[in-house]
Amino acid sequence: MTIVQGNQDRRPLSQIEYGRLKQAAKRLIKACGGLEAASMITRVGHSELARYYTHEERLFMPIDVAADLEAIASNPVITQALAHMQGYALIQLQPQETADPNNHWTTQLALLGQETASLLKQVGVALSEHGTLTAHAINHQHLMMHIDNLIQAAMQLKAAMLHRQERDYHLKRKGNNPSRDDLPTPP
């Protein structure tokens, strides 16, 4: 495959960023158990998979292959890399089977407050021990985990509020006007 040099110069991302996609492909294949195992669960063979993470190759992993492998790895490595390249963060939503649609939004709001307090407490501890947020402090105080928990709590609150909106919308369509009396009370 020949690539015209002029077209390469007009690509919107740097070679470093494209290299990160190659690294993500390698991590994903490894997470699936290696080349042989990964080739058993998608439409391409192991030699083709190896080309996706070889930096000298201009071939990148097709999106359907990435989707197959991410489903097996239970880790969206390529999707995270793409999101990061575009300036987004990827967070896992609470699995639907564990979400409780009857959980009142005030319960979720309280959980959000608890998670916020927990994060702020750990940041305070890190600052008191190190004077600044060092990589060591971030790891030692598990700050990334606390941030993930905070985001999760915010997403649960959002889901509870969306559930409330949908419930009220359906009640109004049926001719029932939801009142404060027919709403579930917080525990």
Q: What is the distance between the terminal CA atoms of the chain, rounded to a whole angstrom?
A: 64
User: Can you give the residue ranges of every domain in the chain?
Assistant: 5-85, 105-182
- Which pLDDT value is given to residue 163? 81
Q: 79 pLDDT exceeds 80? A: yes
8 A C-beta contact, residue 101 and residue 163: yes
Q: Is the pTM of this model over 0.75?
A: no
Q: Band of the pLDDT at 185, cuts 50, 70, 90?
A: very low
Calculate what percentage of the chain has a pLDDT beyond 70. 83
Q: 117 pLDDT exceeds 70? A: yes
The greatest distance separating any two alpha carbons of the chain, rounded to the nearest whole angstrom, comes to 70
Query: How large is the average pLDDT for residues 155-178?
Result: 81
Q: What does R_g of the chain's alpha carbons equal in angstroms?
A: 23
What does the alpha-carbon distance between residue 14 and residue 137 come to, in Å, rounded to a whole number? 31
Specify the DSSP element, H or E, that contains 113: helix 105-130
Q: Which residue has the higher pLDDT, 151 or 69?
A: 69
Q: 56 pLDDT exceeds 70? A: yes
8 A C-beta contact, residue 24 and residue 81: yes
> Among the listed ranges 2-11, 28-37, 126-135, 169-178, which one has the minimum average pLDDT value?
2-11
